[in-house]
Amino acid sequence: MEKVRVRYPPSPTGYCHVGTARMAVVNYLFAKKHGGKIFFRSEDTDKERSKREYEEDIIEQLHWLGLGWDDFSRTTELVESHKTAMHKLVGEDKAYVSKEESKKNPGEFVEVVRLRNPGRSVTFTDVIRGDITFDTTELGDFVIGRAIDDPLYNFAVVYDDGTQGITHVIRGEDHISNTPRQILIQEALGFPRPVYAHYPLHLGADKSKLSKRTGDVAVRSYREKGFLSPALLNYIAILGWTPPSGKEILSLDEMVAEFELENLHKSGAVFDMEKLRWYNRHYLSEMSVEDFNAHALTVLRAAITARNLSWNDAGEKILSLIREKISVWGDISDLVAEGEFDFAFSAPVLDPAKIPGKGDDAAAGAKHLHHVRALLEKLSEADFRDSERVKAALWDYATEAGRGSVLWPLRYSLSGREKSPDPFLIASVIGKSSTIERVEIALNTLQSS
Ligand code: GLU
């Protein structure tokens, strides 16, 4: 194969969305697999909607995902060469300037440039979809410039692909309908035809078409929710591609080694948030305890403060619990907001009716709590640091008197919640004095009810 040259041609009219990232991933994998070059071309031809901010975001997010390129250009900065090429086509009579009545302002005449369309059928071979034939007669002599010095998008794309020596145009199938026009322009300009590969677009969870203007599919929003870049990269890569090995977890290098355009799916995958979370959980599980804890602590602390609770050392003691529970950093903030970890930072407000175990009355609840308090009193502060020792101290009694009857009141007294971690763990997090204090509060609450 001749030296591979591919392009990333995003239009900077919105933040980098998953679709942009997918386009880049597919092109990156293909280029790297074949030792090729990647041309990043910011197609900023839409003057109203294109923004430098969006271009910067696309660059930033692709870098964050670990994707690079070899060359960077902006379509508007290449416009002089587009004009020269269009003048040349007109000079060769392959295109012509035509004076036409404006559709917008009837009565007004404007100049447009039209390509002389030979009007035959055009067949191109698409690596993913096979042969595709278009009858181009119905396109007629289509417009390639709003004026001799104002070439249209399709013209610019073809000229840039040609001069950059692009060998493979790998893009979403939403561009298929542009291809016959682009091929006709390419032939008029005398550029060789690249290989085309149009892959199906992926769909939203509700099977709707994803839109780049919907903020929730912006790569930055996944990043803000705390997804790790290798997880998002891995998920985006397998969204519409199955590596021959069948592996689901792959590093970028492994993906490059396995990648072939032919293995891209022929129908559109549905973006599955649960699957993305599964990937993220996997990559989180690969983090060292130190790295995990350092990051989790920062997120936890900010969330606790945002909930107006005062931070204390118990925060560090729930990190292993957090590690079991979360799939993505943002889950920490969600769990904190739901009150899941309040037990570590403040004494709960108790509903007396909820203190006794199932089927027990207040007297039975109080009896068990009294007994539990006595058993806990015998433990030292140091014993409390180990939830297993707390459990050992209570287990025989709980087994004898009924686990639900004994452990429910304790757990509820410590957490104030019907669902929470087990009471031994909570006791070890909050320590001896707070544990005893909360049991006493529960006893007083029962008594005064
Ligand atoms: N600029 C186009 C887009 O962002 C891509 C054009 C192409 O791949 O040829 O949709």
* Model pTM above 0.95: no
Tens-digit pLDDT profile for residues 13-71: 999 999 999 999 999 999 999 999 999 999 999 999 999 999 999 999 999 999 999 99
Q: Is the CB of 113 under 6 A from ligand 1?
A: no
Q: Is 352-448 a domain of CATH 3.10.20.30? A: no
Buried b (16+ CB within 10 A) or exposed e, 15-52: bbbbbbbbbbbbbbbbbbbbebbbbbbbbbbeeeebee
% of residues, the chain, pLDDT over 90:
94
Neighbours of 383 (CB within 10 A): 17
Decide: residue 61, CB within 10 A, 0-12 exposed, 13-18 middle, 19+ buried.
Answer: buried
Q: Which tens digits make up the pLDDT trace of 247-286?
A: 999 999 999 999 999 999 999 888 999 999 999 999 999 9
User: 182 and 158 in contact (C-beta within 8 Å)?
Assistant: yes
Mean pLDDT of the chain, nearest integer: 95
Confidence of residue 104 (pLDDT cuts 50, 70, 90): confident
Residue 22 CA, ligand 1 centroid: distance in Å:
12
35: left (phi over 0), alpha (psi -120 to 50) or beta: left
Structural domain spans, the chain = 1-69+200-286, 289-344, 352-448
Q: What is the pLDDT of residue 9?
A: 98
Q: Determine if ligand 1 sits within 6 Å of the CB of residue 193.
A: no
Q: What pLDDT, on a 0 to 100 scale, did the predictor assign at position 214?
A: 45
Whether 43 lines ligand 1, by a CB cut-off of 6 Å, is: yes
Tens of pLDDT, residues 432-444: 999 999 999 999 9
- The position carrying tokens 């203007």 is 213
Instruction: Look at the domain 1-69+200-286 and name its fold.
Output: Rossmann fold (3.40.50)
The per-residue pLDDT for range 407-423, each reduced to its tens digit, is: 999 999 999 999 999 99
DSSP assignment letter at 78: G
Measured in angstroms, how far is the CA atom of residue 10 from the centroid of ligand 1? 6
Asked if pLDDT for residue 364 goes beyond 80, the answer is yes
170 vs 30: CA distance, rounded Å: 9
User: Tell me: the pLDDT tens digits for 121-140?
Assistant: 999 999 999 999 999 999 99
DSSP secondary structure letter of residue 385: T
Residue 296 confidence (pLDDT) above 50: yes
11 lines ligand 1 (CB under 6 A): yes
Which residue stretches of 340-422 are H helix? Answer: 362-377, 381-384, 387-401, 403-415
Tell me the longest C-alpha to C-alpha distance in the chain: 101
In percent, how much of the chain has pLDDT > 70? 98
Closest ligand 1 atom to residue 172 Cα is 8
Mutate to test the pocket of ligand 1, among 15, 55, 157, 209 (most ligand atoms within 8 A of CB): 157
Q: How far is CA 211 from CA 201, 232, 237, 426, in A?
A: 11, 18, 19, 45
Protein residue whose Cα sits closest to atom 8 of ligand 1: 171
Find out whether 424 and 406 touch, Cβ atoms under 8 Å: no
For the Cβ of 171 lying below 6 angstroms from any atom of ligand 1, the answer is: yes
Residue 377 has pLDDT above 60, yes or no: yes
Q: What pLDDT sits at residue 202?
A: 87
Q: Which atom belonging to ligand 1 lies closest to the Cα atom of 7?
A: 8
297-316 pLDDT, tens digit each: 999 999 999 999 999 999 99
Dist CA 369 CA 372 (whole Å): 5
- For ligand 1, is residue 160 a contact (CB within 6 Å)? no
Confidence of residue 1 (pLDDT cuts 50, 70, 90): low
Alpha helices in 149-288 (DSSP H): 153-163, 179-189, 219-224, 229-238, 252-258, 273-285
Q: Ligand 1, closest atom to CA 174?
A: 10
Taking each helix axis from N to C end, the angle separating 229-238 and 273-285, rounded to the nearest 10 degrees, works out to 140
- Name, in order, each residue with C-beta under 8 angstroms of 259's C-beta and a sequence gap of 6 or more: 29, 30, 32, 33, 241, 243
The CA 154 to ligand 1 mean position distance, Å, reads 10
Contact 67, 10 (CB under 8 A): no
Report whether residue 9 contacts ligand 1, using a CB cutoff of 6 Å.
Answer: yes
Strand partners, 109: 101
pLDDT digits (tens, 9 = 90+) for 179-215: 999 999 999 999 999 999 999 998 877 667 665 444 4
Q: What is the pLDDT of residue 211?
A: 55
pLDDT attached to residue 93: 98
Strand 71-74 and strand 37-42: pairing?
Answer: parallel
CA of 178 to the centre of ligand 1 (A): 10
